[in-house]
Structure 1
Amino acid sequence: MSTILCIETASTNCSVAIGVNGKLLALKEDYDSSYSHAERLHNFIKEILAENDLELSDLDAIAVSKGPGSYTGLRIGVSAAKGLCFSLDLPLISVATLTSLANQVENKGTIIPMMDARRMEVYTAVFDKDKNQIEDTSAKILDAESYKEYLDEQVVYFIGSGVEKFKKICEHPNARYIEDKLPSSSQMVSLATIKHKKSDFEDVAYFEPYYLKDFMMG
């Protein structure tokens, strides 16, 4: 039996979930348009444990979204996760932010998660219909021809905070836009459980978020 606390702070969504044996037990999150992680994250953790009659000692691992995403948000989430792992002597599991975002798409088809990264740039990757990553994570400047090689072949699902800017410049008939979605700890549960079963853990002392780019405020 595994009980994993999942922390997602790579976007404006401050999100905490508890997974038990790969299933979502509870979720607490806030789709605030501002970054409220510093004020809310630790309270969310305390509340979600109390509401489910759990203690910190009941946890088997801590999972954290590793990025890319907001520098400040990632730093807060990873610091909290590492602090819990140190104090409780628990393993740390990292989950790629774009992978968990892609896992929100239930449709079968190519999936391209996008996180807003300033101006016409997004943090993005490409996943096939089975959620396998087929293109490396990158910071990409969008234009009307972006992802044409995929769109010309099949329906493509775009999801995340970067979708709005791409929708304005891409009118390809095979593009499907899933708007108003941010990374959520609920999607981390199954991914973290797979890593837990494999003992695929991070070195708590040296683990750092995957910022992808140099620091920018936000």
Structure 2
Amino acid sequence: MSLILSIETSSDNCSVALRQENSLLASELVNQPHAHAAQLAPLIQTVLKKAGIKAASLNAVAVSSGPGSYTGLRIGTSTAKGICVSLNIPLIAVPTLQIIAREAFDKFKPDGILCPMIDARRMEVYCQTFNSHLQPTSQVTAKVIDENAFAELLAANKVFFFGNGSEKCKEVIKNTNAFFLPDVLPNAITLGYMALEKYQAGEFEDVVNFAPFYLKEFVAKKSQSLL
């Protein structure tokens, strides 16, 4: 039976879950921005301890593959790869926007176009659209939001926006076909459920060469004290 450890670090949330086939054995979540480096290892230890499982028993590790927080994705991926290499087990990756879409679908059962959004900078979001069967209907893109955003799509469809990037869009997108779903964030429980499907299908990543999908390169800010 598959025993999969799931690590989700693409947003301010840092979560870990352990699943054996269709059974969730344990999970932990911390909502603390910029705390992934300090919190991830203790969360993994706590989840394994709660489940009474030793790390050596794991069959695979799953991570969200992005886009999302550059630092969070990097920390989650490096931790997952380290475990996979040390135990010689496969790595599974699930795109973050697909995880968020699955979260919204399971929680709200929306009947229309689903549009998960990840906050980028200013009025920009990373987003992708899905139909009501969770099949992608567009590519992942970085989109600047204004009053005309998604106008063509909204003209003929109900569109459900959610994710941490959707909050800043509420006051801008006023179309009557636009609906905003609250409190939909990626988490390791949903990631683990989706990872099980990939495990059963043998869809694994190259542990050595795998890298998260950042969509945009990280841009470091200059310290104000140096200006």
Place the TM-score, normalised by the shorter chain, in its bin.
over 0.9
Amino acid at match of 2:150: Y
The residue number in structure 2 matching 1:3 is 3
CA deviation after TM superposition for structure 1 residue 96, in Å: 0.3
1:105 and 1:149 mapped to 2: Cα distance? 23
Residue 127 of structure 1 pairs with residue 91 of structure 2: no
Structure that is richer in strand per residue: 1
Q: Is the 8 A contact 2:119 2:165 kept in 1?
A: yes
SS at match of 1:46: helix
Per-residue CA deviations over 1:174-211 (Å, capped at 9, x if unaligned) read 21112333211111122101110111110111101101
Segment of structure 1 superposing worse, 81-90 or 148-157: 148-157
Per-residue CA deviations over 1:15-53 (Å, capped at 9, x if unaligned) read 111122134332211122x21100000000000010111
2:41 and 2:191 mapped to 1: Cα distance? 18
TM-score using structure 1 length: 0.95
Report sequence identity in percent: 42
Report how many residues are paired. 217
Residue segments in structure 2 that go unaligned for 5+ positions in a row: 222-227
Residue 138 of structure 1 pairs with residue 141 of structure 2: yes
The residue number in structure 2 matching 1:173 is 176
CA deviation after TM superposition for structure 1 residue 58, in Å: 1.8
TM-score using structure 2 length: 0.92
The residue number in structure 2 matching 1:85 is 84
2:149 and 2:167 mapped to 1: Cα distance? 14
SS at match of 2:210: coil
Superposition map of 1:1-218 within 5 A: 1-32=1-32, 34-106=33-105, 107=109, 108-217=111-220
1:202 and 1:10 mapped to 2: Cα distance? 18
Q: Is the 8 A contact 2:104 2:184 kept in 1?
A: no
SS at match of 1:35: coil
SS at match of 1:152: helix
CA deviation after TM superposition for structure 1 residue 217, in Å: 4.9
Q: CA RMSD in A?
A: 1.3
Residue segments in structure 1 that go unaligned for 5+ positions in a row: none
SS at match of 1:83: helix
CA deviation after TM superposition for structure 1 residue 157, in Å: 1.2
